[in-house]
A and B are shown apart, each in its own frame.
Chain A
Amino acid sequence: MARYGVLIGFFVLMTVFAVVLNRMNEGEYNPKSIPSEFIGKPAPEINVPDLLNGKLVTSADMKGQMWLFNVWGTWCPECWREHKFLLQLQQAGVTIIGLNWRDDKAEAMAMLTRMGNPFAKIGYDPDSSVAMDWGVYGAPETFLVNAEGIILVKHAGGITPAVWEQKFASHFQAKNEAQL
């Protein structure tokens, strides 16, 4: 009787593995990615000085509009790659608040001068205090916060047109429709 148990247990285990592998293949499952704790919850505070002008950057200031929170650094190659698309988004009217994470101020400012600045404001976070508060564990990461200050989406990795379409665009459309 126990022998049937062993056989059944084995096939159950193999099914679990098959499910996992399948999901990995589809790109739906990445063992290394950590889901965000903040989806549907209020956005944490930022409360650090702006990289460029030293004024305090806060989430509270952003209430009433939809905005992106983008974590980046000059040491992060993906961030360089997504920069152009961020500029496109800004030109299309999307408000992006940046967080310059663990970076050299001079190099960060130089990058913005060279490549353009898509950010309305940029918090300067040299010791990860803001990053930790937002549950950030890598760069680039982008959060979508709605007008009530609730986080709707988090994307770890660079934003590309495809990612935008998949994860972010619908919320902006909904907002547009609501405004109409």
Chain B
Amino acid sequence: MIQTKWMKQFLSLIYAVMIAGFCLLSTSVSAKVETRAFANEQMESDYNQLIAELRCLVCQNQNLADSNAELAQDMRTKVYKMLGQGSNKEEIVDYMVQRYGDFVMYRPPVKSTTFFLWFGPLVFFVVAGLIVFSYLRKQKAADQVSVDQQQQKKAHSLLDDE
């Protein structure tokens, strides 16, 4: 079978369109409503939070809660079971990250490579503040200069008058 580059791209395009089509249609309009029994409210809220913050690997624009991909269904079930077995939220997230990498978390980790992501806004604040501050200072200095110039003019005119 001759695999030209064109052929490869064409096939992957077909495949991508199929996945996109599935994912577009699967946005819970054909919702799989799973009825789960939770031991307590805390577990239910943990479950809801986890499936909202974990990313679906198949329909990558959805979280686990909204995706109907079969892998997403299985991952939700896994989360539910792990909660039932007593794992806490961090452990479950770690479990998923170990297998799928940071990509599976919608909350980006705080590590050296994401330092600027998390602290960037603060940096923006500081930079903006500095710009405004220096602008106001320059203005004040310009004012001072013009006041000095005015005073000089006045002094000159007084001297000239004499």
Q: Give residues in A with beta carbon < 8 Å to B.
A: 2, 27, 32, 34-35, 37, 77-78, 102, 127-129, 131-135, 137-138, 157, 160-162
Contact = CB atoms under 8 A, between A and B. Distances in A.
B60 A32 contact: yes
A2 B131 contact: yes
Contact of B74 (A37, A132, A135): A132
Interface of B: 1, 3, 5, 8-9, 11-12, 15-16, 18, 57-58, 60, 70-71, 74-75, 77-78, 98-101, 103, 131
B57 A137 contact: yes
Nearest to B55: A34
A129 B81 CA distance: 12
B75 A132 contact: yes
Contacts of B60: 32
A132 to B, nearest CB: 6
Nearest to A125: B74
A37 B100 contact: yes
Main secondary structure of the interface of A (DSSP, over half): loop
Nearest to B18: A77
Contact of A157 (B5, B12, B71, B74): B12
B3 A132 contact: no
B74 A162 contact: no
Contacts of B15: 77-78
A128 B71 contact: yes
Contacts of A160: 1, 3
A35 B18 CA distance: 21
A134 B3 CA distance: 28
Contacts of A134: 99
A137 B3 contact: no
B99 A135 contact: yes
Given A34-B103, A37-B99, A127 B74 contact: yes
B57 A127 contact: no
Nearest to A32: B60
Nearest to A76: B15
A133 B58 CA distance: 16
Nearest to A162: B3
B66 to A, nearest CB: 17
Contacts of A137: 57-58, 71, 100
Contacts of B100: 34, 37, 135, 137
A127 B76 CA distance: 11
